[in-house]
Each structure stands twice: as structure tokens, then as C-alpha cells.
Amino acid sequence: MELAKIAFFLIFTYFLLACALLLRPFGKPAVSDMDEYFILNAQREAASNNVVASIVFDYRGLDTLGEATVLFAAVSSIVLLFRGAPK
């Protein structure tokens, strides 16, 4: 049992070390078509200096709608939960 624990510890440590060595260097992300597209075209298409805002509210607006709906559901459930509380 102890041997199994030590073996698991060593294997997991070497796994983490290998992952850390295989990381990409800082500031050099993997090349993808989408980020180049957003950097080159977001200011022209969405007319917004803040490219993050243009992604959140324009390109991925449905995601923001889901977040707002989640917040609405959370507030509704909290109001429902405390409805029976003594005044």
C-alpha cells in the first residue's frame, strides 16, 4: 500500500514536471486564425476600441445573454427561497 502511494506520488510529480517543461513560452501563444481575425477586424466591424467588449457583446452576445439569464434565475430562486421566512 505504501509502495503504491509512493509510486503514484512519483508518477504524478514527473507528469506535472513534464507538463511544465512542455508549456509554451510566455507571450508566445499557439497560432490560431480566430485571434488574428479579431485583432485585425474588430475595430472596423464592431467600431469598438475595446476588442474584449466587442467579443463579449457582439461576436459572442449569446454567451452574455446566458450569463444575464443565469443571474436572473439565481435572484429568482433566492427570492423564492426566502419567501417563507418569518418577517
Partner 1 sequence: MNGSSVIVKVVSLAIILPALTFGLYIIAHGHLTPGGGFQGGAIIASALAIFLVAFAKQASKTLRKNLLSALECLALLGFIGLSFLGLGKSFFFNFLANSGLIFGQAVPFGPNPGFINTAGVIPLMNFFVGLEVSCALTIIVLTMLKAGGDKK
In the complex, the smallest distance separating the C-beta of residue 38 from partner 1, rounded to whole angstroms, is 13
Distance (Å, whole) CA 80 – CA 87: 14
Q: What is the largest CA-CA distance in the chain?
A: 63
Question: Beta-strand (E) ranges in the chain?
Answer: none
Q: How many helices (H) and strands (E) does the chain have?
A: 4, 0
Distance (Å, whole) CA 70 – CA 74: 6
Per-residue x/- marks for partner 1, 2-41, CB under 8 A? Answer: ----------------------------------------
**Contact stretch for partner 1 (CB under 8 A) within 7-15, 23-31, 70-78:** 70-78
In the complex, the smallest distance separating the C-beta of residue 68 from partner 1, rounded to whole angstroms, is 6
* Site residues, partner 1 (CB under 8 A): 43-50, 52-54, 56-58, 61-62, 64-65, 67-69, 71-72, 74-75, 78-79, 82, 85, 87
